[in-house]
Amino acid sequence: MQGLVTVFGGTGFVGGQVVRALAKAGHRVRVAVRQPNLAYRMRMLGDVGQIEVVQANVRNPASVARALAGAEACVNLVGVLWESGRQKFQSIHMMGARNVAKAAADAGVKHLVHVSAIGADVDAVAKYARTKGEGEVAVREAFPGATIVRPSIVFGPEDDFFNRFAQMAALAPVLPLVGGDTRFQPVFVGDVAAVIAKAVSDPAAVGVTYELGGPTVYTMREILELILTETGRKRPLAPVPWPVASLIGSLGDIQASILPLAPPLTTDQVEMLKSDNVAEAGLPGLAEAGVTPTAVEAVIPSYLYRYRKGGQYAPTPAGAF
């Protein structure tokens, strides 16, 4: 069995796939989470004794250092899509990333994989993208050889993108369309996990920044049309002007500040929808990492069927893939 890899944020949508991929590759895995009592299923992703769960909070440097004791490699997947309570963009994406990178360097960790996002930029208007960019800078300063992975929208059975719009299509008579011409390059969660699992032990990945996008670029309008086709729903798309979207986002900000529930939209997400989310041609991607990209159409039928009338017993909608 290979050396120990500490994974911060291992219980999330992407994290679970990363832990599984690392275990399959023969690594011992330590999953560092804020609430270990909620992560009991992590141990089932590998052989007996291969995966352990420990308490750590990236906002607490001492707990990060404990989680890294004896580790040969580290993966930081921690991130938030909206701010709530103490989970702020700055404290998680920048300060938390710096804490992990600094502790990894101090502990003599051989390789750090830091998961950021396409669009990360210290000069970005959206706080999410700006703090992701600041986090990358902090990681490079503390751990120059870190591998940075920037995925586009990640899709898979437990995603919060295709599932959310498919559920909306099943319940609402109209689908709101915000940023209809904004382009996205959805990437399969299994492909992202494969890149990360390879990177923790690949000398060629040291110091490299990967931008991961799937094989096809879609506009937001095309994505919603694809979801409607796959779920067998006929819903008009109602374009939402940016001022109206910002107003809805403001209401979402208020909801996020008082309720532990995912808001439908935030003002920061409205800002992000104004920019394309597509991999930069000049940076290495899935191909350079040795991973064959998986098409959206090959995967979403395996989980969006539940939003059709009749669920798994419904016939495949005409025109669906």
Can you tell me the distance from the alpha carbon of 308 to that of 8, in angstroms, rounded to the nearest whole number?
A: 36
pLDDT tens track for 146-160: 999 999 999 999 999
Please check whether residue 259 lies inside any domain of the structure: no
Please check whether residue 253 lies inside any domain of the structure: no
pLDDT tens track for 27-64: 999 999 999 988 888 889 999 889 999 999 999 999 99
Cβ neighbours for 28, distance < 8 A, ≥ 6 positions apart: 1, 2, 3, 4, 5, 50, 51, 52
For residue 321, what pLDDT is reported? Answer: 42
The closest of 166, 164, 208, 153 to 14, measured between CA atoms, is: 153
Domain count across the chain = 1
Structure tokens at 123: 């000069």
Q: What is the CATH number of the domain that holds 100?
A: 3.40.50.720
Please check whether residue 15 lies inside any domain of the structure: yes
For residue 313, what pLDDT is reported? Answer: 56
Structure tokens at 148: 């940075």
For residue 320, what pLDDT is reported? Answer: 47
Can you tell me the distance from the alpha carbon of 152 to that of 185, in angstroms, rounded to the nearest whole number?
A: 6
Of the chain, the end-to-end C-alpha distance in Å amounts to: 40
Can you tell me the distance from the alpha carbon of 17 to that of 14, in angstroms, rounded to the nearest whole number?
A: 5
For residue 193, what pLDDT is reported? Answer: 98
Can you tell me the distance from the alpha carbon of 172 to that of 158, in angstroms, rounded to the nearest whole number?
A: 21
3 state DSSP class of 280: coil
Q: Which residues of the chain have pLDDT under 50?
A: 320-321
Range of the domain at 81: 2-155+186-213+277-294
For residue 316, what pLDDT is reported? Answer: 62
Please check whether residue 209 lies inside any domain of the structure: yes
For the entire predicted model, the pTM comes to 0.94
